[in-house]
Chains A and B, each alone.
Chain A
Amino acid sequence: MHNVTFALDSAWRVLLTCLILGAGLPILFAAGIRALAWSSGGEPTVTETGVAVPAPRPAGKVLAYACFTVVVLAVLLGITFIVASGFGKAITFDHVIPTLIDK
């Protein structure tokens, strides 16, 4: 039975971490895409005088790229994690800013 206990103990940790990273990051990415679409001001409309291009909203672009930056940084952290653990290092978040330490 000890294996079942160990497995369930690991499983809920994995699930929790992954809901934050594995679902949270793509959700943030999706929010960025929505902001990018919003920044364009919507679809052009055809009027009597020609095609009306809506005014762009620069705030949307800023928001979008802020989202993408967070996602990219998180992915880079993920890659650092893979590389580091291969070389016997671990990443600690003790000092808020991720730092490499010996395992």
Chain B
Amino acid sequence: MAGRSGSHDLLVSHEFFILVLVVVTALGFDFTNGFHDTANAMATSIATKALKPRTAVALAGILNLVGAFLSVEVALTVTNAVVKIQDKTGAPKAELLSDGGGALLLIVLAGLVGGIIWNLFTWLLGLPSSSSHALFGGLIGATVAGLGWAGVNWNGDGSKLDGVVGKVLLPALLSPVIAGVVAAFGTWVIYRITLGVAQRFTDQGFRWGQIGSASLVSLAHGTNDAQKTMGVITLALIAAGDWTDTGAVPLWVKVACALAIALGTYVGGWRIIRTLGKGIVEITPQQGMAAQSASAAVILASSHLGFALSTTHVATGSIVGAGIGQPRAVVRWKVAGRMIGAWLITVPAAGVVGALMWWLGHLVGGAGGALLIFVVLLAASAAMYLHSRRRPVSEHNVNEDWEPVAPVSVSG
């Protein structure tokens, strides 16, 4: 691949440069996907001290890595759920390739940037929002900007659950409720069964149960989420003419995506882990196990039935459910409300960023435009990272009381 840019004209080497930016940005998105979602699997195990924070994120990272390699099912048509830039086989639409693939690459790049910026912003606020929605939102925004409203697959073609309504909106409404009902029911029955059992039995036993169920969620996450980035990168490679097989993902893409999501998971989005583990309910090992089992079951059953959903929505729904099911437990509805608010605006917000990025890139045009939005991404990421250092959340303070009992001095 490296040798071809020299032997071609300037136009092609421009496309190659944009392609490199797309691949790097996609891996960056995969990384944020990992650390944004560590909490989904591990927040409750960290909160109940079933696992030490570092052990928990390491376990989740390894299982995501394994999961990413297990998902050999081709996810090339991932963008078809929401936008019309590919045909049914996964090949890019011909009209987007007339200039050497630049039109499609710009849409994908702008969409990815929209997704990353929204992921980082919600992380800064400690809000668990869906990474898949951020990606879809960014792609929708960039597509609307680039191709107009008709470029968006709003409602599918009526043959199956599809489009923005079928793959994004309805699952987002239904999946947290299902997970919540299952977790609430499980928590309540477990509470009745273990009433009066000495704590030395319940604490020890349910911590093991938590570790097992959390591992299952991590594995399922790796199989579900890493695929999306693999699909996006392969689409970009096809658009740029560097890959032709629509039935397979190049091995290096698979390896790079698996490593990116595992590394992101291991770094751990501590701010989000804190919100999910400590912010919504003060969780017991029993509730933790009920919540994680509900999450694992809902994620696996849904993917089996072709019901696309966000692990974040499921995990949050489960934890709220575990709070409702436990007699005398207090659910902090204010925190839950902020999360639901973030869910509602994830797609439009990432979409607005994606659209702005597309316009910016289009205005400058070519490789320069792509480079400009990449630099904007780097600047925005650096700014948000620096802002996060003012009030850092790490493995050391992730389990501090949500509402401080006495005024504490904040340092560092």
Q: Which residues of A contact B (CB under 8 A)?
A: 2-4, 6-8, 10-11, 13-15, 17-19, 21-23, 25-27, 29-34, 36-37, 40, 43, 71, 75, 78-79, 81-83, 85-88
Contacts and interface: CB of A to CB of B under 8 A. Distances in A.
Contact of B193 (A10, A30, A83, A87): A30
B161 A3 contact: yes
Nearest to B69: A86
Contact of A3 (B163, B183, B185, B295): B163
Q: Which 9 A-B pairs have the closest CB atoms?
A: A22-B297, A23-B186, A3-B166, A7-B170, A6-B161, A86-B70, A33-B205, A30-B190, A37-B201
Contact of A14 (B156, B183, B301): B301
A3 B305 contact: no
17 contacts: A3-B165, A7-B171, A7-B307, A14-B298, A14-B307, A22-B182, A22-B294, A25-B293, A30-B190, A34-B194, A37-B198, A71-B209, A75-B216, A78-B296, A81-B304, A82-B223, A86-B72
Given A18-B182, A85-B73, A78 B300 contact: yes
Interface in B136-171: 155-156, 158, 160-163, 165-166, 170-171
Contact of A10 (B156, B197, B295, B302): B302
A33 to B, nearest CB: 4
Given A14-B305, A71-B209, 16 more contacts: A6-B166, A11-B307, A14-B307, A15-B182, A18-B182, A21-B293, A21-B301, A23-B294, A26-B213, A26-B290, A27-B189, A30-B206, A33-B202, A36-B205, A37-B198, A86-B223
Main secondary structure of the interface of A (DSSP, over half): helix
B161 to A, nearest CB: 4
A78 B300 CA distance: 8
B178 interface: yes
B289 interface: yes
